C-alpha cells in the first residue's frame, strides 16, 4: 500500500510542480545504447550515403508560450508522432506524418520552462498579482482568450515587463530541474540508434526589445552528460553568456553542444550585425567564438524564410520567398522593420558580411551551414503543405485559421496565411545516431528545405572531370578529391568546379531548376553576389534568353489544390565551373533547388473548408518550394580560417 501511495504522491507532486507526464510508463527504461551518444552501436557507412530528415525545433506543453496557446501534448506524444505514429492533436484531430522523421530535437523555451502550466494549475485565490490573475483567468476562459493571454505575455517578455513572480529564479530553477531530468529520461527511451534519434536540446530566447535573437541549443550527448546541466535561461542575457555556458558544458562534461540561430528575419537587423552587439568593430576573438558555437543557422521555418530579400538581392527573381508579413517588423511586431535593417536579417547577406568581416579581422564569424525546421508549437513536427497542423494550437486545422490575424503583439499586419508550412533539415551522415547527426551539423554537411524531401548533393574541388561525374564513383571522388557542402577549399589559383545533383522528393513535385548562388568580395573589398542558373528541366524548350531561364510553367489547379508532374524533372545534375573566378578572392557558393509550382497549405484549406481566400492571400496560394544547401567556401591564402 505504501509503495502505491509513495508513487502516487511522487507523481501527484511532480504533476503539479513540473507537469509530470501521466501517460509515460515508469517501466521499460532505456537501454545502455539508447542513453549514450550512439558511438559503436551501429555500423557506419564509409561515406555519408543517405540523407536523414529531421526537425531541430519543436515545442511541446513544457514551453511557456505553447502551453498558453493551448497545446496539451508533451514530449512523449511529440516523439511518437515524429517517428511516424498516429496521435490525437490537442484539438482532437488525428494526426500522422506521411513519412516518419529520422531525428528530432525538442527545443522547449528554457526561460520559465513549464511556468504557464504552473500558473494555469495554481488556485486562483492565491494569485495576487493582477496581471497573472488576469492571464490565469484568460487561460481558463477558452482557447481564444488563452492565446491572447500568451500574446500579452510574449509582449511583456519582449518589453522586459514580466511579473516578478514568473521570474523568481529559485522556483524556476527547481521546476526546470524536474522537467529536464524527466525529459532526458523520455528522449532516452525513444532514442533508437540506427532507427530514430532523439537529441537533447532547448531554445534560448534572447529577445531585446522584441528583436528575435533566439537560438536552438542542441547536445550531442546522452543523459550521463546532459543530466549534469540545466537548460540555460537567457531572455535578458547576451549571446556571449550562452557561449560561456556552452564552453563550460564542454569543459565540465567532455560533451559537445552547438547553437542554431533562427528567425533572423524578425531580428530587426540584430542577428547578423557587422559590428559587435552594442556597436564597435567586431574583434577577431568575438568572430571566432560566434563561428565556433554557431555552425548552422535555421534559414526557413513556419515564421517565414530568411534566405534572401529582394531589397538586398534585386537581381534575384526568386528572392523574397516567404517574407510577406514577416518583413514588417520584429517578432511581436512592437517595432517595425526598415530596409536598413534587412542586411542583418537575411542569411545570404550574412554570408557576405562574413566575408567582409573576414577581410578586416582574418576571421569569418558567419561561416555557417543552413538547415530548415518547423518551430511548431503543437508538439507535431509537420512540414508538408497538405498536412499543416499550424504554428500553434490556435491554428491547428480549422476553417478560420488562414484569414485570421495572427499578431503576437498589438499592431496589425500578420495573418494566418503568412505562415509557411515549415521546413526540415536534411543531414548527410554515416548513420542515424546522436553523434553522427550532431557531427554532420558541426561540419555543416546539412541543408535546408521548405518541407519537401528533396535530395541535394554538392562537392567542390578543382580537378573533377566529366568522367568522375558521369560514373558511379562520383561520390567517392567527391570526398577524396574535394569537399562536400559545408566544406572549405583553399584557393590555389584555379577556378573551383562543383559536382551538383538534385533529386525530387519521391512523393512530391518535380524540379524546376538548380542555381548556384555565389558571394564574394571584390577588389575594393565590397561584398557582391550573383545567381547562376546551372541546370534546369526541359532545356531544349527553355533556352536561356537575356541571361534568364524561362519560367517552368504552372500546373496548379486552384479550385482543386492539385498539380501534375507533367513539367519539371526528376533528377537534375551538373558539373559546374565558376566562369567568373578571380584568384585571391574570398567566396562562397551554395545551391538553391526550386520545385515546380505547387499548392500552399492555404489552398488545401480553401478546398477542405470551401473558403474564399482574400485576394492578397490568393497571391501567395501557390509557391515554388525549395532547398538551400550549405555553402562551400573558397578561402584565399592570406585569410585565416575559423577552425
Partner 1 sequence: MSHWRRLVGEPLVHFLVAGAAIFAVLSWQGSPDDPASRSIHLTREDQARLAVNFAQVMGRPPTDSELAALTGQWLREEVLYREALRLGLDQGDAVVRKRLAQKMDVIAASAADAETPSNEALDQWLNNHADRFAQDMALTFDQLYFTSRGRAVVAKTLLGGGADWIKVGDPVSLPARFDSASRAAVSAEMGAEFARALEDLTPGGGWQGPVESALGWHLVRLRAKEPGVLPPLAAIRGRVEDDWRAETGRERQDAAYRTLREAYRVRIDR
Binding site for partner 1 (CB under 8 A): 1-17, 22-23, 25-31, 49-50, 84, 99-100, 118, 120-129, 132, 140, 165, 168, 171, 177-178, 181, 189, 227, 453, 455, 457, 469-472, 474-475, 501, 503-504, 506-507, 570-571, 573
CB of 253 to partner 1, least distance (A): 16
Residue 518's φ and ψ, nearest 5 degrees, are -110, 135
Cell readout for 141 is 476562459
Residue 514's φ and ψ, nearest 5 degrees, are -120, 130
Residue 337's φ and ψ, nearest 5 degrees, are -95, 140
Q: Which is nearer to partner 1, 10 or 281 (CB)?
A: 10
Q: Please say whether the beta carbons of 187 and 2 come within 8 A.
A: no
CB of 505 to partner 1, least distance (A): 8
Residue for grid cell 493582477: 130
Q: Which is nearer to partner 1, 108 or 178 (CB)?
A: 178
CB of 72 to partner 1, least distance (A): 12
DSSP per position, 453-500: --EEEEEEES---HHHHHSTTHHHHHHHHEEETT-EEE--SS--EEEE
- What is the C-alpha to C-alpha distance for residues 162 and 640, in angstroms, rounded to an integer? 44
Distances (CA, A) of 464 to 47, 498, 571: 18, 8, 20
Q: Which is nearer to partner 1, 94 or 123 (CB)?
A: 123
CB of 408 to partner 1, least distance (A): 25
Q: Which is nearer to partner 1, 339 or 470 (CB)?
A: 470
Q: Which is nearer to partner 1, 281 or 539 (CB)?
A: 539
Would you call 627 helix, strand, or coil by DSSP?
strand
Element (H, E) at 358: helix 347-361
Q: Which is nearer to partner 1, 114 or 295 (CB)?
A: 114
Distance in angstroms between the alpha carbons of the first and the last residue of the chain: 60
CB of 361 to partner 1, least distance (A): 37
Rg, the chain, Cα only:
24
Distances (CA, A) of 346 to 308, 448, 591: 6, 14, 16
CB of 506 to partner 1, least distance (A): 4
Q: Which residue blocks in 368-453 are alpha helix, DSSP H?
A: 434-442
Q: Which is nearer to partner 1, 111 or 294 (CB)?
A: 111
Q: Which is nearer to partner 1, 326 or 498 (CB)?
A: 498
Residue for grid cell 558511438: 39
CB of 122 to partner 1, least distance (A): 6
CB of 132 to partner 1, least distance (A): 7
> Considering only CA atoms, which of 298, 326, 366, 325 is closest in space to residue 107?
298
Q: Which is nearer to partner 1, 113 or 270 (CB)?
A: 113
> Considering only CA atoms, which of 298, 292, 232 is closest in space to residue 267?
298
195-219 core/surface letters (b: 16 or more CB in 10 A; e: else): ebbbbbbbbbbbbbebbbbbbbbbb
Element (H, E) at 518: strand 511-521
Q: Which is nearer to partner 1, 31 or 641 (CB)?
A: 31
CB of 633 to partner 1, least distance (A): 22
- What is the C-alpha to C-alpha distance for residues 617 and 250, in angstroms, rounded to an integer? 47
Residue 479's φ and ψ, nearest 5 degrees, are -75, -35
CB of 236 to partner 1, least distance (A): 19
CB of 274 to partner 1, least distance (A): 37
Q: Which is nearer to partner 1, 354 or 508 (CB)?
A: 508
Amino acid at each position: 500500500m505504501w509503495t502505491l501511495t509513495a508513487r502516487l504522491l511522487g507523481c501527484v507532486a511532480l504533476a503539479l510542480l513540473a507537469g509530470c507526464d501521466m501517460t509515460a510508463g515508469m517501466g521499460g527504461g532505456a537501454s545502455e545504447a539508447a542513453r549514450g551518444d550512439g558511438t559503436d552501436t551501429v555500423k557506419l557507412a564509409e561515406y555519408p550515403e543517405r540523407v536523414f530528415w529531421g526537425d531541430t525545433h519543436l515545442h511541446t506543453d513544457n514551453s511557456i508560450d505553447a502551453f498558453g496557446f493551448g497545446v496539451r501534448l508533451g514530449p512523449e506524444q511529440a516523439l511518437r508522432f515524429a517517428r511516424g505514429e498516429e496521435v490525437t492533436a490537442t484539438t482532437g484531430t488525428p494526426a500522422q506524418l506521411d513519412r516518419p522523421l529520422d531525428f528530432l530535437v525538442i527545443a522547449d523555451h528554457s526561460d520559465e520552462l513549464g511556468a504557464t502550466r504552473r500558473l494555469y494549475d495554481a488556485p486562483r485565490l492565491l494569485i495576487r498579482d493582477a496581471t497573472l490573475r488576469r492571464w490565469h483567468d484568460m487561460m481558463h476562459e477558452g482557447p481564444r482568450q488563452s492565446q491572447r493571454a500568451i500574446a500579452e505575455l510574449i509582449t511583456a517578455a519582449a518589453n522586459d515587463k514580466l511579473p516578478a513572480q514568473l521570474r523568481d529564479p529559485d522556483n524556476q530553477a527547481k521546476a526546470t530541474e524536474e522537467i529536464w531530468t524527466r525529459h532526458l529520461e523520455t528522449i532516452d527511451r525513444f532514442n533508437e540508434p540506427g532507427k530514430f534519434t532523439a537529441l537533447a536540446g532547448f531554445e534560448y530566447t534572447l529577445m531585446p526589445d522584441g528583436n528575435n535573437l533566439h537560438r536552438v541549443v542542441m547536445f550531442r550527448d546522452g543523459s550521463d552528460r546532459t543530466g549534469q546541466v540545466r537548460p540555460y535561461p537567457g531572455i535578458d542575457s547576451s549571446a556571449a553568456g550562452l557561449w560561456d555556458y556552452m564552453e563550460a558544458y564542454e569543459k565540465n562534461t567532455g560533451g559537445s553542444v552547438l547553437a542554431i540561430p533562427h528567425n533572423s528575419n524578425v531580428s530587426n537587423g540584430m542577428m547578423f550585425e557587422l559590428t559587435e552587439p552594442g556597436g564597435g568593430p567586431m574583434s577577431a576573438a568575438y568572430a571566432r567564438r560566434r563561428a565556433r558555437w554557431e555552425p548552422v543557422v535555421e534559414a526557413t521555418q513556419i515564421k517565414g524564410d530568411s534566405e534572401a530579400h529582394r531589397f538586398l538581392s534585386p537581381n534575384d527573381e526568386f528572392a523574397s520567398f516567404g517574407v510577406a508579413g514577416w518583413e514588417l517588423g520584429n517578432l511581436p511586431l512592437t517595432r517595425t522593420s526598415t530596409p536598413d535593417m534587412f542586411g542583418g536579417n537575411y542569411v545570404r547577406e550574412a554570408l557576405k558580411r562574413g566575408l567582409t568581416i573576414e577581410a578586416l579581422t582574418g576571421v569569418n564569424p558567419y561561416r555557417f551551414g543552413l538547415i530548415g525546421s518547423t518551430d511548431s508549437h503543437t508538439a507535431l513536427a509537420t512540414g508538408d503543405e497538405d498536412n499543416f497542423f499550424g504554428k500553434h494550437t490556435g491554428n491547428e486545422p480549422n476553417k478560420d485559421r488562414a484569414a485570421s490575424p495572427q499578431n503576437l503583439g498589438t499592431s496589425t499586419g500578420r495573418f494566418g496565411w503568412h505562415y509557411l508550412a515549415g521546413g526540415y533539415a536534411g543531414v548527410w551522415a554515416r548513420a542515424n545516431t546522436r553523434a553522427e547527426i550532431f557531427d554532420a551539423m558541426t561540419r555543416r554537411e546539412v541543408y535546408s528545405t521548405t518541407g519537401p524531401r528533396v535530395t541535394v548533393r554538392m562537392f567542390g574541388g578543382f580537378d573533377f572531370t566529366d568522367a568522375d561525374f558521369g560514373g558511379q564513383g562520383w561520390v567517392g571522388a567527391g570526398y577524396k578529391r574535394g569537399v562536400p557542402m559545408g566544406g572549405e577549399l583553399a584557393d590555389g589559383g584555379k577556378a573551383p568546379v562543383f559536382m551538383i545533383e538534385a533529386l525530387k522528393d519521391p512523393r512530391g513535385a518535380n524540379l524546376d531548376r538548380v542555381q548556384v548562388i555565389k558571394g564574394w568580395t571584390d577588389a575594393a573589398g565590397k561584398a557582391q553576389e550573383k545567381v547562376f542558373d546551372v541546370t534546369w528541366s526541359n532545356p531544349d524548350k527553355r533556352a536561356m534568353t537575356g541571361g534568364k531561364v524561362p519560367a517552368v510553367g504552372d500546373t496548379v489547379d486552384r479550385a482543386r489544390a492539385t498539380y501534375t508532374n507533367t513539367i519539371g524533372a526528376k533528377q537534375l545534375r551538373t558539373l559546374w565551373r565558376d566562369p567568373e573566378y578571380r584568384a585571391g578572392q574570398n567566396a562562397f557558393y551554395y545551391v538553391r533547388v526550386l520545385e515546380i509550382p505547387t499548392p500552399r497549405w492555404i489552398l488545401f484549406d480553401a478546398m477542405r473548408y470551401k473558403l474564399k481566400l482574400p485576394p492578397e492571400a490568393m497571391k501567395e496560394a501557390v509557391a515554388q518550394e525549395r532547398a538551400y544547401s550549405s555553402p562551400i567556401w573558397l578561402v584565399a591564402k592570406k585569410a585565416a580560417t575559423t577552425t
